[in-house]
Every structure is written in structure tokens, then in C-alpha cells.
Amino acid sequence: MKPVLSTEEVVRLEDIIEREGTSKAELMELAGEFAANEVLKLNPDRVLVLVGFGNNGGDGWVAADILSHKGVDVDIVSPVEPDEIPAALARHVARRTAGRDVRVCVGPSRDELEVLIDKADVVVDAIFGTGFHGNLRAPFSIWIPTVNECADCVVSIDVPSGLNAETGVVDDDCIRAEHTVTMIAPKIGLYSADGPE
């Protein structure tokens, strides 16, 4: 059984892993591969991956790349162009993935997002990771309710976006995922307050 860790404990563990020789970039690749393999167990033909600005989004870009190499039809929804993603590691994998066999939709309208969700067998939530807290802002304040209203099957990477990974509190709304995949350990927020477990 995996231990349940706080956000601070996860950060410390990642630092230890890096000191032992596995870089943050390698961890992102491993997390994305783990998420992709879990999605593949659902046998999707088409997947929609929603990414944010940070490293959780980077995990999503990696997962999208791997899924596409496995023959899955992949759409990625991003708030900004790959070159504009502020987190350096996420920007690197976004640029790489965008140059491959995936479709990238930047800043879709609600109607466009609904169409993409309707076409997908699985929606992958890689918007926010363990660092999220507070209120949702656009476009995520539009994306999350739209996913909840329209998607049949949602897989969240690390934590459902909008959920505080430490406290389990949801200030506005959060993704209601059928599956949450986490490589290192489940986060305490999944089991407390508003957490889905």
C-alpha cells in the first residue's frame, strides 16, 4: 500500500530522488508515462488532454505524446501556445509534443471545448497539480465546469484540478474524476475535507 503524503513531504521526496540521480525532467517523463499507461488501460480511441501552465501540465504533454505514439488520437487543450508556458520543463515537453502527431487547441471557447470533450473517450486532467490553492481563474473557471458537465470519463494526474492537495478543500469547483493517477504517492487532500475519496 502506498503512503499518503502531504504536499511538503512530496516536495521533499522529489528533492531526495533528484539528489540520488533522477532529475525533475526525468520525473516528469516518468509521471507522464505512468499516466499514459493508466489511460491506455481504458482502451480509448481518442483522448483529450487539458493542460495548465505548470509541471502538472508538463506531465499531461508527456502523456499526450506517449498516447499518440501508441496509436491513440490525441487533442491537447492549452491556455497558451507551447512557447509561452512559463514553467521551463513543461515548456520544453510542450514544444516537443506540439511538433508531433497531436492536435493542439489554444484557448478554445466553451462551445469548442464541448465539441472536443464530446469526441473524446477519455479526458485527461493535467491542469493543476499539488501547488494549487485558492480560486479558479479564466479559462480554468470555464474549463472545469464544462468537463464536469460534458465528459463521460475523466482521469486526473496527481490530484483533480481545483482540489487543494493539502487540505482537500474546494473553493470554487474541481474536476470530478473517475480515476486519479499519482506516481509517487496519493496526496492527503484526496482523503480530507471535500476530497473525492
- What is the residue extent of each domain of the chain? 7-191
Question: Class of the 7-191 domain?
Answer: alpha beta
Q: pLDDT higher for 4 or 35?
A: 35
pLDDT above 60 for 26: yes
Q: pLDDT higher for 190 or 51?
A: 51
The predicted structure's pLDDT at residue 72: 98
Mean pLDDT of the chain: 88
pTM of the predicted model as reported, rounded to 2 decimal places = 0.87
Write the pLDDT tens digit of every residue in 116-166: 999 999 999 999 988 888 889 999 999 999 999 999 999 999 999 999 888
3-state SS, residue 74? strand
User: Is 111 exposed, middle or buried (CB count within 10 Å of its CB: 0-12, 13-18, 19+)?
Assistant: exposed
Nearest to 85 by CA among 167, 16, 147, 28: 28
pLDDT above 70 for 87: yes
Residue pair 160/137 in contact by the 8 Å Cβ criterion: no
The predicted structure's pLDDT at residue 193: 54
Write the pLDDT tens digit of every residue in 140-153: 999 999 999 999 99
Relative to beta strand 122-126, strand 154-157 is: parallel
The predicted structure's pLDDT at residue 15: 64
The predicted structure's pLDDT at residue 134: 83
pLDDT above 90 for 197: no
Q: Which residues contact residue 191 at a Cβ distance below 8 angstroms, ignoring those fewer than 6 apart?
A: 4, 168, 197
